[in-house]
């Protein structure tokens, strides 16, 4: 079963709320998982849109990318690219202070 924060779903849409919850699950324990990196005072999670659609098969790649763009645009998350290989364009995601506050208050 997919869970998400209702307040984020109201402000950003259900798809964005599902993606936010997915990222939060990987980042909430401050880097206790694979694909997590600490940089610039934040914990970042490496994840592609294809990986998101593997976790949530009811989302298309475009739906996942749009959801991420909504979260970035509304200031919930930041997006970066910290890959060693210049041909690897997989993005890294971190919650902003505002995003952390909203995720912690949403439960």
Here the tokens at position 29 are 């324990």
Residue 86's pLDDT is 76
Nearest to 91 by CA among 11, 19, 3: 19
- Mind listing the pLDDT tens digit for each residue in 19-74? 999 999 988 766 566 677 777 788 899 899 999 999 999 999 999 999 999 999 99
Query: Which three-class secondary structure state does DSSP give residue 1?
Result: coil
For the domain made up of 6-105, give the CATH fold: Arc Repressor Mutant, subunit A (1.10.10)
Going from N- to C-terminal start, the domains of the chain cover 6-105
Adjacent-strand bridge partners of 45: 36, 93
pTM, to two decimals: 0.87
Confidence at residue 10, expressed as pLDDT on a 0 to 100 scale: 93
pLDDT of residue 79: 92
Q: How would DSSP label each residue in 63-74? A: HHHHHHHHHHHT
| C-alpha–C-alpha distance, residues 47 and 59, integer Å | 15
Whole-angstrom distance, CA of residue 4 vs CA of residue 76: 14
Question: Token pair of 48, please?
Answer: 């592609």
Q: How many residues does the chain have?
A: 107
């Amino acid at each position: 079963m997919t869970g998400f924060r209702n307040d984020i779903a109201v402000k950003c849409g259900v798809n964005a709320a599902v993606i936010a919850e997915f990222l939060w699950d990987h980042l909430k324990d401050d880097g206790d998982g694979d694909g997590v990196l600490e940089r610039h005072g934040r914990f970042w999670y490496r994840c592609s849109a294809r990986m998101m659609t593997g976790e949530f098969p009811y989302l298309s790649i475009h739906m996942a990318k749009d959801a991420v763009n909504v979260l970035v645009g509304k200031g919930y998350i930041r997006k970066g690219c910290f890959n060693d290989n210049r041909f690897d364009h997989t993005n890294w995601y971190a919650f902003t202070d505002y995003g952390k506050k909203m995720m912690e208050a949403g439960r």
